[in-house]
């Protein structure tokens, strides 16, 4: 990839399909296990997805998962489109770092280490640990309904930060990423991206967000997405320009992160509407990339449903968890771990004395 202008189309060549031969070998091995076909439901499908991603049969157990959460404030929140006041994501970040937020609690319960990445929180970077703000691009993102969320240079910097973080996770041995977001106004930015890339109207993708906004706030949010959509449509052919116009630094970083995870063959569980929007942008750059992602849950956000349908991803759970921070994806993690354990540890059954032909052989012998 060029060291100057970032071209996401390069990922179209870098990202390969997950290994189809390995998937077929996993299917053949599954046929030799004890439980009959269909008895394990989607756990078989999960095991085959993970096997293809790992490129090994039998699948290896998930031993080093990691929750990675990208954080940022969005200027569009000034329009009162969120349950929380504009610029208040820093308080959410502090709660997460203190282990007192929903994502932190669920990650601790699951034994999953966490990483919070501040890309554009509305605070002085010195207010947070250096490791958290090391990749920050700016303080909050611009109001996407009337101006660009980022400059082109800031969008490229955020994408490169996401790529770097994906490399760091892969190099450190992370074998599965649980992806989360932490923001105020992020679901509005996500709605603009999804509406633009799916060619639909604002009302189709506008949800209530993680805080369950009232009807008036929903109408303001719908209007903000409609206005942002007018600015997004002329640049849908260029993912970098699209993220600069209406995305924001945290969403741009998540997009780069997803693309590089796919390039490094690191499987990812998506969470809610924000990660789905970033996945949709990444798919526009590299159509093979969704092979490496799993939809952990249906959050109840209409924009997420639209994006996942376009991506061809079927959520594992449907509990309406819209709080962000990777919570829904964390709840899906035990299913993925269970599928891997069953595929790895169930013994293959011996062929003798099984099936009609074997029973006839036994009768002939007597």
Identify the active-site residue in 153, 325, 345, 352.
Answer: 325
Residues 6+ apart with CB under 8 A from 116: 69, 71, 93, 96, 97, 132, 182
Structure tokens at 175: 């074998």
Cβ-contact 180, 96 below 8 angstroms: no
Structure tokens at 124: 């002085």
Cβ-contact 72, 93 below 8 angstroms: no
The residue assigned the tokens 């601790």 is 108
For 288, the 3-state DSSP assignment is coil
Structure tokens at 254: 């998540």
Q: DSSP assignment, residue 112?
A: -
Q: DSSP assignment, residue 347?
A: P
Residues 6+ apart with CB under 8 A from 99: 105, 108
DSSP one-letter string for 216-263: HHHHHHHHHHHHHHHHHGGGTT-HHHHIIIII-HHHHHHHHHHHHHHH
Residue 183's H or E segment, with its range, is strand 176-184
Backbone torsions φ then ψ of 301, nearest 5 degrees: -75, 125
Closest CA to 59 of 346, 355, 362: 346
What whole-number distance in Å separates Cα of residue 69 and Cα of residue 255? 13
β-strand partners of 177: 66, 268
What whole-number distance in Å separates Cα of residue 212 and Cα of residue 94? 22
Structure tokens at 245: 């116009």
What whole-number distance in Å separates Cα of residue 114 and Cα of residue 124? 22
325 is catalytic: yes
Q: Catalytic residues, which ones?
A: 325
């Amino acid at each position: 990839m060029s060291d100057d202008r970032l071209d996401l189309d390069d990922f179209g060549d870098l990202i390969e399909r997950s290994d189809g031969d390995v998937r077929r070998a996993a299917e053949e091995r599954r046929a030799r296990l004890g439980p009959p076909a269909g008895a394990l439901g989607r756990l078989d499908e999960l095991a085959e997805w993970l096997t293809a991603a790992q490129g090994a049969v039998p699948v290896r157990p998930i031993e080093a998962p990691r929750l990675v959460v990208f954080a940022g404030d969005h200027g569009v929140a000034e329009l009162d489109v969120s349950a929380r006041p504009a610029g208040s994501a820093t308080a959410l970040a502090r709660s997460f770092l203190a282990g007192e937020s929903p994502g932190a609690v669920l990650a601790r319960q699951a034994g999953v280490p966490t990483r919070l990445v501040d890309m554009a929180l509305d605070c002085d970077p010195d207010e947070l640990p250096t490791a958290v703000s090391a990749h920050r691009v700016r303080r909050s993102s611009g109001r996407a309904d009337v101006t660009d969320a980022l400059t082109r240079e800031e969008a490229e910097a955020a994408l490169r930060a996401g790529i770097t973080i994906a490399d760091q996770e892969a190099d450190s041995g992370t074998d599965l990423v649980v992806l989360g977001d932490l923001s105020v106004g992020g679901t509005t930015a996500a709605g603009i991206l999804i509406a633009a890339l799916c060619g639909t109207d604002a009302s189709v993708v506008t949800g209530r967000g993680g805080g369950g906004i009232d009807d008036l706030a929903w109408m303001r949010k719908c209007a903000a997405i409609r206005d942002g959509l007018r600015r997004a449509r002329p640049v849908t052919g260029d993912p970098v320009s699209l993220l600069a116009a209406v995305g924001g630094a945290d969403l741009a970083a998540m997009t780069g992160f997803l693309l590089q995870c796919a390039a490094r063959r690191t499987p990812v569980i998506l969470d809610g509407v924000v990660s789905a929007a970033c996945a949709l942008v990444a798919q526009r750059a590299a159509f093979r990339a969704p092979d490496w992602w799993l939809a952990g849950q249906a959050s109840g956000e209409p924009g997420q449903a639209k994006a996942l349908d376009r991506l061809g991803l079927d959520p594992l759970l449907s509990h309406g968890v819209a709080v962000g921070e990777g919570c829904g994806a964390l709840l899906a993690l035990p299913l993925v771990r269970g599928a891997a354990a069953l595929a790895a540890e169930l013994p293959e059954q011996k062929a003798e004395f099984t099936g009609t032909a074997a029973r006839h052989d036994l009768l002939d012998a007597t």
